[in-house]
Structure 1
Amino acid sequence: MKRSMMQTVFLLAFVFYSLCAGASVIQEKAYDICKYGAKGDGKTLNTNAINSAIKDCAENGGGTVLIPKGNFLSGTIYLKDNISLVLRKGAVLKGTADVSQYKSYTPLGNFSMFDSGGDGENANSAIDPHWNRALILGVGVSNVSIEGEGVIDGNHVFDSEGEENMRGPHTIIIAESRNILMRGITMNCASNYAFMAYKIEDMVFHDLEFNEGWDGIHIRGGKNITIRNCRFFTGDDAIAGGYWENMVISDCHINSSCNGIRMIMPATGLTISNCTFAGPGKYPHRTSKEKKRNNMLSAIILQPGGWGKAPGEIRDIYIHDVSIDNMNNPLMIVLNEGNTGDNILVERMKATRINQAAVSIESWKGGTFGNVAFRDISISYEGNKNPELKNLQVSQPPADSRLLPCWGWYVRNVRNMVLENVVLNYRGEEARPAFWLNNVGKAELIQVNYTGSEDVGAIMRENTGTVIKR
């Protein structure tokens, strides 16, 4: 169930290659945008100057397009092959408040599999030009980097015709592209997602910081992706998307007023490791508007089909060495219509001050989970003494976590589950049982300790086979 040695070697080699490749681009000729008429006064619209520098650089074989110290206002700029866009320390690339200055990405193929939201307020489509506007567009490009010590500021551009009648353009869209590096940059105040991608391959995000805005990194269709040593302080989900293949998220600090990692479409070969998840959110949830809600929801929520039908499997998921504190729910994995799940392993997860919902592994209109295992887990909950909660009728979850009729662990439609060296406790009083098992083929509880373990009704079973405790 663990990632194979060959996969690990490949990913490490890929990260090393990408970082070195980015460094080699910088050594080429530099094209300073100020030499093309750009002015860092925070007032001049520099779109044409920046695009001219990029065009000239690309036509001469590639190299570095340099944004020096200053506040450079711009509309949409277009990345090209073999370009390194470098923001020096003190440089700010800022999106203009004029929404007419943003251009759209239009996919060449049928990307309907990436649509989400159904007919709701948050519906979005890959072929919607209004949805797919961005400050920086990279379409069909390769060997590109965005790096430096500067800031890319989305400027929280308001658009009454955007999603939720308020969202503006994304800060960056990369689509149908490969061999991409983002490194060192700080991204502030995204008007929608800070980074949005469709069908990308071989990309590394390294040492980035995300502040405010909506989602931090949102990828729909990604292969061989590494997100490492990044810091998220987002007003919506920190990392989201789906249809991922071989994605590694490691050594990141994640703070959000929504979810930490939210997967809304299938994935295979996903590793989440050595990350910290801490609530409440530093910045309020953008969509909550004047309510300024900032409680963090789930640290990790894997829910293919959670925002509209997204058929496929979640398989070979490895979550390990994660720390979680002060949020509604530590971990939630849900299958919906057309989804299956197998080979899911969680190890060395510690969660404290969990204040609403138990860990849940549940399938509804989807298929049954195959093998799931949890080892070396410690979770501390805030108790809830309301006696009515144990009579809750559980149904398919909404978009986010919710109260359940148990306080510790909820399982539905799983063939084989192993819990080993697991400690669950709560602070205060609690009226619900610790576990709720519904249609579980076999459950092994090995050295599982939990508050109230001596109670006869601590484990509720519905249509459940063998439960082995040792």
Structure 2
Amino acid sequence: MSNQEFNIIDFGAQADTTQLQTATIQACIEACREAGGGQITIPAGRFLIGSLRLYSDMTLYLQEGAQLIGSTNYLDYEDFQVPTTITYANDDYYQNKWHLPPYCFYGLITAFQAENISIIGELGAIIDGCDTYDANGEEQFRGPMGIVMSQVKHLQLIGYTMQNSANWAHCLDGCEHVLIERVTVQAGHDGFNLHHSQAIKVQNCHLETGDDCFAGYDIQHLQVTNCQLNTACNVFRVGGHQLVVDNCQIKGPGRYPHLSQDTYDTHALFKYYSIDADQMTPVEQDITFQDCLIDNIGKLIVYDFGNRDFMQTNRPLDQINFKRTTINHLTQPSTVNGQCLTVSFEKTLIDFNSKQAFLTFKTPITLKLNEVTFKRPTTIMLAEGQQLTFDFQINLIVTK
């Protein structure tokens, strides 16, 4: 990558004006591309933009106080007509179900089939989607994504705040070797969508989302570490291989509302995602929560394999593990439907505040409880009506 720096002011960009700066900033990006890459610098100030496209070997660098503000007119954005790896967008069933437009994956900052891209923000750097409304968009109101990175290798997202995204804050599909660090997401919709992506590290981030904090299927080798997660939907709606959530604080209810439902409750910690319209890598589907604090959410698990409305019809979940984790003020029971599933709790404290069964398994499973403490009498229902009730520390393995 070239060490050259390109400042958008040198290409005519003007701060703190109501005029779009898309063309001048894109001219700066194109100059950087012609030079073989380098740094595009965004200085302090508010810059109004539509869609920008980055290329290989580039760093978009937002200095302290820099703000990229999305236009509130959805016509100022484009998808650059580059194919996505998210093939359900072309499936008639899901197009009708969610009212998906043909330009679904358009956003403020985009890159496609590229490598060595970084978006870095200093203190106070903001990317604002402004909740742009699109009557032709998803659900007949969602506008452009925040950041769209498709099939990008060696991607870094560091230090900025993404707020008020009109659809997903980050759409990362088919990406490899991704580092996400010290990124804040506030309001809007999903925080990070990671479909078909692999080798991803997310650390020291702070998410307060209106929709899922993390979403995506066919994810491989994801590690989420030292993050604070808050949502008015699901914390994780994911599927994939070796997904590890480590030392995170997860608390509800949501600070910001779910925009289509106008509710704040955190629905579930984990909702499985394995959609039938996409190809999935034939590997084990597993997720682990370890050394986490989970507080004041609804359900622990939403898993009903074969349920198309839940988008759980491709590959089944193989195992979900909870290790050295505290689960406080869980308020709703979880019903789990899926064969050949292992559910494991190890050195975990559970406070389930309901008279209903904490977990109800509709199909044969393997349940492992190792040094698990229940703060109050708690019932687990196994397949064929077998009931287990606990009010103390327990060690147990049940295979049905």
* Among 328, 342, 346, the residue aligned to 2:322: 346
Q: How far 1:313 sits from its partner (Å)?
A: 5.5
* Superposition pairs of residues 50-449 of structure 1, within 5 angstroms: 50-108=25-83, 111-112=86-87, 118=94, 121-122=97-98, 124=100, 128-149=101-122, 150-263=125-238, 266-288=239-261, 292-305=262-275, 314-336=284-306, 337-358=313-334, 360-363=335-338, 368-384=339-355, 406-426=356-376, 434-438=379-383, 449=390
Distance 2:199 2:245 in 1: 14
Alpha carbons 1:303, 1:335 under 8 Å: kept: no
Pair 108,163 (structure 1): closer, same or farther in 2 beyond 3 Å = closer
Pair 309,32 (structure 1): closer, same or farther in 2 beyond 3 Å = closer
Q: How far 1:40 sits from its partner (Å)?
A: 0.8
Pair 338,121 (structure 1): closer, same or farther in 2 beyond 3 Å = closer
CA deviation string 1:233-270 (max 9, x = no partner): 1111111111111111111110011111111xx41121
For 1:321, give the aligned amino acid: D
Q: How far 1:58 sits from its partner (Å)?
A: 1.6
Pair 121,342 (structure 1): closer, same or farther in 2 beyond 3 Å = closer
Distance 1:383 1:418 in 2: 22
Structure exhibiting the larger radius of gyration computed from Cα positions: 1
Q: How far 1:183 sits from its partner (Å)?
A: 0.2
Pair 233,33 (structure 1): closer, same or farther in 2 beyond 3 Å = same
For 2:31, give the aligned amino acid: D
Pair 237,222 (structure 1): closer, same or farther in 2 beyond 3 Å = same
Structure 1 SS opposite 2:19:
strand
Identity of paired residues, percent? Answer: 25
Alpha carbons 2:342, 2:365 under 8 Å: kept: yes
Distance 1:177 1:100 in 2: 26
Pair 131,246 (structure 1): closer, same or farther in 2 beyond 3 Å = same
Q: How far 1:314 sits from its partner (Å)?
A: 4.4
Distance 2:272 2:224 in 1: 14
State the superposition RMSD in angstroms: 2.8
Alpha carbons 2:21, 2:48 under 8 Å: kept: yes
Distance 1:313 1:105 in 2: 33
Pair 250,362 (structure 1): closer, same or farther in 2 beyond 3 Å = farther
Distance 1:119 1:93 in 2: 30
Structure 2 SS opposite 1:100:
helix
Instruction: Look up the match of 2:309.
Output: none
Q: How far 1:439 sits from its partner (Å)?
A: 5.8
Pair 439,29 (structure 1): closer, same or farther in 2 beyond 3 Å = farther
Structure 2 stretches lacking a partner, 5+ long: 307-312
Structure 1 stretches lacking a partner, 5+ long: 1-24, 385-405, 454-464
Instruction: Look up the match of 1:462.
Output: none
Q: How far 1:192 sits from its partner (Å)?
A: 0.6
CA deviation string 1:440-463 (max 9, x = no partner): 9x99x9xx9427x9xxxxxxxxxx
**TM-score by structure 1 length?**
0.76
Q: How far 1:166 sits from its partner (Å)?
A: 1.0
Number of aligned residue pairs: 387
Pair 169,77 (structure 1): closer, same or farther in 2 beyond 3 Å = same
For 1:373, give the aligned amino acid: S
Alpha carbons 2:54, 2:110 under 8 Å: kept: yes
CA deviation string 1:114-164 (max 9, x = no partner): 76873654254xxx5321111111011111100022111111101111112
Q: How far 1:190 sits from its partner (Å)?
A: 0.1
Structure 1 SS opposite 2:324:
strand
Structure 2 SS opposite 1:104:
coil
Q: How far 1:317 sits from its partner (Å)?
A: 2.9
Pair 439,199 (structure 1): closer, same or farther in 2 beyond 3 Å = farther
For 2:333, give the aligned amino acid: A
Distance 2:264 2:33 in 1: 43
CA deviation string 1:370-424 (max 9, x = no partner): 444221121112234xxxxxxxxxxxxxxxxxxxxx4222223344321111223
Instruction: Look up the match of 1:37.
Output: 12
